[in-house]
Amino acid sequence: MSTRSGVVAHRGASAQFPELTLVAFQQALEQGAEALEVDIRLTADGVPVLLHDPRTTRVADRDLWVHSSTLDQLATLDLGSWHPVHRAPEPLLTLRSFLVMAEAFPQVRLFLETKHPVPSGGRVEAALRDELRYFGMDRPASFADSRAVMMSFSVMAVRRFRQLAPEIPAVQLRERRNVLKSWPAEGVGAQLMGPSIGALRARPWLVEYWRSRGMGTYCWTVDDPADLLLCRDLGVDWVGTNVPSRALTVLDGGVPRAEGPAAG
């Protein structure tokens, strides 16, 4: 376990830049993020793209359902102008274009979340496995050496991916209402549990419990300095944050400068 929690840029530096866009990831890397987190959905023609919601109304200039839209249709969207700070057009990122960018930063971990429920079912996990194989990231020397880390709230998705790519570690994400529905690593197949910060505030003992079962922890979404220090003190392995620069400052013992309100 590292001496402090590793900093994962949640959808990039998404407080200051539009989530899941190239500029958000580039800025997160400039801020010193040690990992990047993305959300993956499949288009109607089976292309994995980086979008959090099942439809684009929150982050785009038009409302499209991701699962029933082709890549060509989604590629026409402006995914940046909605952002209250950035206010400039940004294009859709495919998973492949994200991984091309990430090739230049081999030291940075990639936390790759498949979204469920979706009409395409398990095809999103197969698509993720195929893309990681294309980039030679599907067979790391060990879990600790793996650049790629799969994540999902769906137990079935984690189990499915562990069968598709058994050498890549996985995070079983948990919301507060179901955080206690956690099985030991050998039951779920996950190497890390992923509770929300609200769950850890309510039950901080969970980190040590999971550690006793041989599992690490990834906590989301941690923007408040007090919460960052809580995660550090508990020995949380990774924290997902919308403001990586502030998280690094706090975790390294500095005093954070004021930031604008963080995106959800």
Domains of the chain: 6-251 (3.20.20.190)
Annotated catalytic residue: which of 52, 67, 83, 116? 52
Mean pLDDT in residue range 242-263:
77
pLDDT in tens, 22-37: 999 999 999 999 999 9
Q: What is the pLDDT of residues 48-91, one digit of tens each?
A: 999 999 999 999 999 999 999 999 999 999 999 999 999 999 99
The model's pLDDT over 124-177, given as tens digits with 9 standing for 90+, comes to 999 999 999 999 999 999 999 999 999 999 999 999 999 999 999 999 998 866
- pLDDT level of residue 254 (50, 70, 90 thresholds): confident
Q: For residue 264, what pLDDT is reported? A: 40
Q: How confident is the model at residue 181 (pLDDT cuts 50, 70, 90)?
A: low
pLDDT of residue 187: 67
pLDDT given for residue 178 in this prediction: 65
The rounded distance, in Å, linking the Cα atoms of 163 and 84 is 41
Position 136: which residue type? G
Q: Which of 10, 67, 83, 86 is catalytic?
A: 10
| C-alpha dihedral, 73 to 77 to 79 to 81, nearest 10° | -170
Q: What is the pLDDT, as a whole number, of residue 33?
A: 98
- The reply to whether 86 belongs to the active site is no
Residue 32's pLDDT is what? 97
Q: What is the pLDDT of residue 175?
A: 80
Residue 220 has pLDDT above 90, yes or no: yes
Per residue in 80-118, pLDDT (tens digit) is: 999 999 999 999 999 999 999 999 999 999 999 999 999
pTM of structure:
0.94
Q: Please work out, in degrees rounded to the nearest 5, the angle formed at the alpha carbon of residue 74 by the alpha carbons of 31 and 84.
A: 45
Active site residue 52: yes
Mean pLDDT of the chain: 92
Judge whether residue 202 has pLDDT over 50: yes
The stretch 201-211 carries a mean pLDDT of 95
Separation CA 251–CA 232 (nearest Å): 7
Could you write out the DSSP letters of every residue in the chain?
--SSPEEEEETTTTTTS-TTSHHHHHHHHHTT-SEEEEEEEE-TTS-EEE-SSSBSTTTSSS--BSTTS-HHHHTT---STTSTTT-S-----BHHHHHHHHTT-TTSEEEEEEP-S-TTTTHHHHHHHHHHHHTT-SS-SSTTT-SEEEEES-HHHHHHHHHH-TTS-EEEEE-GGGTT----HHHH--SEEEEBHHHHHH-TTHHHHHHHTT-EEEEB---SHHHHHHHHHHT-SEEEES-HHHHHHHHTT--PPP-PPPP-
CB 221, CB 242: distance < 8 Å: yes
